[in-house]
Structures are given as structure tokens and as C-alpha cells.
A and B are shown apart, each in its own frame.
Chain A
Amino acid sequence: DQQVKQNSPSLSVQEGRISILNCDYTNSMFDYFLWYKKYPAEGPTFLISISSIKDKNEDGRFTVFLNKSAKHLSLHIVPSQPGDSAVYFCAASGVGAGSYQLTFGKGTKLSVIP
């Protein structure tokens, strides 16, 4: 049972426009949500997080929105730049499968077209 879902495997956006990456979760016990960015041949890099008690967190061009009632979060990148092209993983921190852990989605590959 996949507790964190990223339903879009890929997304293409023009440079300068907004990129919106979506994530859904099923476990209401998750208490932190995170986004990681991954370039080929590198490990994931932490991007931004949000506590379950908040609904928005902003860091420069990156904003994460959390809708707890819908169990949905999204990452907005404005404006999108070619260097943002990478795979983005949504992750949730909390008890899953009986153990405290980070549960990741399968990722969305973002391509920003110059």
C-alpha cells in the first residue's frame, strides 16, 4: 500500500513559468512533509519542508502548500529555471509500517524548457 503518491511521473514547463508538483498521502499520522530534488548520479537533496500544523511554507522561489483535509501537498516553483530540471520526491515523516521513517513518493521528473 503506497502511503505517499506522486501521480505525475513527469512534467514539462517553460522557463519563467510556474511549476506545480503534486503529492497525496494516506497516513494521517505523518507530522512533517518534505520535498527532495535529485539530479542523475547524485543523492537526493533536501529542498523544503512543512510541519503538519502549518498550511504554507516559503523559501525563495519555492513554496509548499499543505491541505490536511484533502491529504494533499504541492510544491510551487516560481519562476522556473532550467537548473530546476530534476526528479522531485515528496516525502512524509512519521510512523509507517510500525516504525518511524521517511516515506517517499516515486518522484516526478520536471523538465524546464529554455
Chain B
Amino acid sequence: KAGVTQTPRYLIKTRGQQVTLSCSPISGHRSVSWYQQTPGQGLQFLFEYFSETQRNKGNFPGRFSGRQFSNSRSEMNVSTLELGDSALYLCASSSAPLAGGTYNEQFFGPGTRLTVL
């Protein structure tokens, strides 16, 4: 079974631009979560999509948005890029959404390294 794939792997943008990152989950997985990893803050939850609906959202500004398609593939968009947006963006897929009382393993992709100049 193919793992989670993320494209592109590396990206360089300048301040003020926007960027779109893509994630293809493991076949059959319908939950996709996005995380931002920076040296100072570690991994921080951005949002989760399940069956094309955003189910959960972390504490990030509205410049960060996402969507999920009917084939479960997901995209994340960051508008008006700032220097502080430079980070590794990780996508994780799971067979079921994040919910209380249970845990379904999340499988992570290799990430997209975004550098904002």
C-alpha cells in the first residue's frame, strides 16, 4: 500500500505571495490532517478534513485554509506569506476522523519544506 505523498517536497516563495500544498492520503483513508513544524514551536495542528468537510481547526489565522476533494486528496493554501510561515508542513491520513474516546493511527507524509524569503 502506498504511503502518504506530499507535493512539492521543497518550495521557495517571497513575502506576500500565496502557496498551495498538496497531500494524497493512503488509499481508503478519508481523514487528512495538516500540521506545521517549526524549530521553536514543534508540531502544531492546523486543521483536519474528513469526507470533504473541515471537522477540526487549530489556532492559526485565516490566511491558512484548506480543502478536501471527493477522492480524499487535500490541499492547503497559505495566502499573503510571511517570513514566519517558513516551516515543514506535514500531512497525515487516517481511516477515521479525530474523535473522543478512541484513537485511529495517523500516518504522516514526508512533508513540504516551505521557505519564505
Give A residues with C-beta under 8 Å from B: 31-32, 34, 36, 41-46, 49, 51, 89, 91, 93-97, 99-107
Contact = CB atoms under 8 A, between A and B. Distances in A.
B17 interface: no
Contacts of B33: 101-102
B58 A94 contact: no
Given A103-B45, A105-B42, A106-B41, A43 B59 contact: no
Given A43-B92, A100-B98, A103-B45, 11 more contacts: A36-B108, A42-B110, A43-B109, A43-B111, A44-B43, A44-B90, A45-B108, A99-B57, A100-B100, A101-B56, A104-B35
A4 to B, nearest CB: 9
Chain A interface helix/strand/loop/mixed: strand
Interface of B: 4, 33, 35, 41-45, 48, 55-59, 90, 92, 98-103, 105-111
B106 A102 contact: yes
B56 A100 contact: yes
B48 A101 contact: yes
Contact of B103 (A43, A93, A95): A93
Give 7 nearest A-B pairs by CB, closest first: A43-B108, A106-B42, A104-B43, A32-B103, A101-B45, A99-B56, A97-B59
B42 A46 contact: no
Contacts of B98: 93, 100-102
Contacts of B90: 43-44
B11 to A, nearest CB: 15
